[in-house]
Amino acid sequence: MQVSLENTASLERRLTVSLPAERLDGVVGQRLQEIARTAKLKGFRPGRIPPKVIEQRYGPQVREEAMGELIRQSFDEAVRQEKLQPAGNPDIHNEPKGEDGAIRYVATFEVVPDFGPIDVSKLSFDRVVAHVEDSDIDAMLETLRQQRQAWHPVSRPAQAGDLVRVETYARLANERIPAEGAEQGATVIGSNGMLPELEAQLVGMSAGEEREVEVTFPANWRMPNMAGQTGTVVLKAGQVAESFVPEIDEAFIKSFGVRSGKLEVFRKEVRANLERELKGTLMNRLRAEVAQKLVGAYAHVELPPRLVEAEARSLALSTAETARQQGQANVTESPVPFMNAARQRVAAGLLVGEIARQNQLSLDPARVRETMQLIASTYEDPGQVIELYRNDPNLMRNLQNRVMEEQVIDWIAERANATEQSMTFADVMRPVA
């Protein structure tokens, strides 16, 4: 194998690789022989198919697959030979064969910048610690009860906490809104789902009862033609229903898949779920904190521009897709607004990888298995999920990358100047405003 290296930019390299044709022909020939032993074609006995027929039927596909593998293998050999660290996938173009029939291709790619020796002991940050307490389990059980809330119609007048179906229309100085009929809606008394003056009038009303209320609509009211105006709102109560929240009994527990129906078993499962969520959230916090400090310490280092742009495009496409799923129109896919975030992510990823390389950190298979089992435990059939990961190279590769990153983050936290900051489970899990 012959390799030629060019520096086309400060962080861009171009490798020209030349391989003898025999290297590809040998692999193709061997695979065609293997196929010939087991192939089944109409009109031929297994193992007796002529080589020319095997070549015509399977040759193009086998040659294409072998060529792809050969390029991947030789590229890896070439970058090791030239002591290069690619940042991202190469852009590969096949060159026409020369007179000697040699296979040639050109690979253009960016390399990891030179960060120099990375001393993580100089980093200082807070590391949040938290634990799941019995009170957190109690709160989650109450949340689960509220999620199973049901509404039962009643014949009595409405009171605080009841769900009331309401018909409304408004009379302004020169206008009735709506012009005909009434708006249909429902509200829980005390939820502030309506204007306070209107919601207060619902207390004591029975189904079919009607009341009139004088109201001044807020200046930012959802209907501009009513905003800031004073008028009369006619309320008509429809069905009144009271809340029913189930008790945590055997039937309730079994509805969550706990076959025994026992409270202590249910609490144990709830604790396991909360601890799993807490662990993931704490790792995300630590990852963000470490990344911020690392990136800040090496902000002066140039980053591979194409890698940054690719990350920005990925962020833009992902954000646009989410916006479209939420019903938003005129969504832009421009990567420009995401360039700063992309630089942060690329810098963090490269620095974590470089720390692993400089300190010869290797993937822990036991931690991969533990993480895979943890993910699988959230599904109805964990065994099926584990099998899916084992049979899907892309899923397994993503899992291994995630575990390796977490290992490096933990390694950094153990050696950096990390100050523990205690927080409650609720505070850790509370969404950031």
**CATH label of the domain that carries residue 369:** 1.10.3120
Tokens of 341: 């975030």
Instruction: List CB contacts of 212: < 8 A, sequence separation 6 or more.
Output: 232, 233, 234, 235
237/257 same-domain check: no
In percent, the amount of the chain with pLDDT more than 70 equals 99
Whether 144 maps to a domain, the answer reads: no
pLDDT of amino acid 344: 93
320/394 same-domain check: yes
283/336 same-domain check: yes
Instruction: List CB contacts of 324: < 8 A, sequence separation 6 or more.
Output: 331
CA distance 136 to 134: 5
pLDDT of amino acid 433: 55
pLDDT of amino acid 132: 96
130/104 same-domain check: no
Length of the chain as a residue count:
433
Contacts 24+ apart (CB under 8 A), 62-70: 62/28, 62/31, 62/32, 62/35, 63/24, 63/28, 66/24, 66/27, 66/28, 66/31, 67/24, 67/103, 69/27, 70/19, 70/23, 70/24, 70/27, 70/103
Residue 222, domain CATH: 3.10.50.40
pLDDT digits (tens, 9 = 90+) for 14-52: 999 998 888 888 888 888 888 888 788 877 877 778 888
Tokens of 64: 């294409």
Q: Answer with the one of 55, 89, 110 that is the final residue of a domain.
A: 110
274/393 same-domain check: yes
Q: Is 47 left (phi over 0), alpha (psi -120 to 50) or beta?
A: left
280/175 same-domain check: no
Name the nearest CA neighbour of 41 among 19, 56, 60. 56
State the pairing for strand pair 417-422/124-129: parallel
101/229 same-domain check: no
pLDDT digits (tens, 9 = 90+) for 150-177: 999 999 999 999 999 999 999 998 889 9
- Helix H segments across 181-304? 196-202, 250-254, 263-297
Residue 47, domain CATH: 3.30.70.1050
Q: Answer with the one of 244, 272, 291 that is the final residue of a domain.
A: 244
Whether 51 maps to a domain, the answer reads: yes
Whether 287 maps to a domain, the answer reads: yes
**Is the dihedral angle over the CA atoms 149, 155, 161, 165 positive or is it negative?**
positive
With a cut of 70, which residues of the chain have pLDDT below it? 98-99, 432-433
pLDDT digits (tens, 9 = 90+) for 356-365: 999 999 999 9
pLDDT of amino acid 102: 85
8/106 same-domain check: yes
pLDDT of amino acid 40: 80
Instruction: List CB contacts of 185: < 8 A, sequence separation 6 or more.
Output: 165, 166, 167, 168, 194
* Rounded alpha-carbon distances, angstroms, from residue 334 to 288, 313, 316, 330, 337: 25, 7, 6, 12, 7
295/418 same-domain check: yes
Whether 115 maps to a domain, the answer reads: no
pLDDT of amino acid 374: 86
The number of folded domains in the chain is 3
Whether 145 maps to a domain, the answer reads: no
pLDDT of amino acid 432: 66
DSSP for 75-97 reads: HHHHHHHTT--B-S--EEEEEPP
**Is the dihedral angle over the CA atoms 46, 48, 54, 57 positive or is it negative?**
negative
pTM: 0.71
Helix 382-391, helix 393-415: angle, nearest 10:
100
CA distance 266 to 260: 9
Q: Answer with the one of 191, 223, 244 that is the final residue of a domain.
A: 244
Check: CB of residue 145 under 8 Å from CB of residue 246.
Answer: yes
Neighbouring C-beta atoms of residue 52, cutoff 10 Å: 9
pLDDT of amino acid 101: 77
Residue 210's domain comprises 150-244
Compute the chain's Rg from CA coordinates. Answer: 33
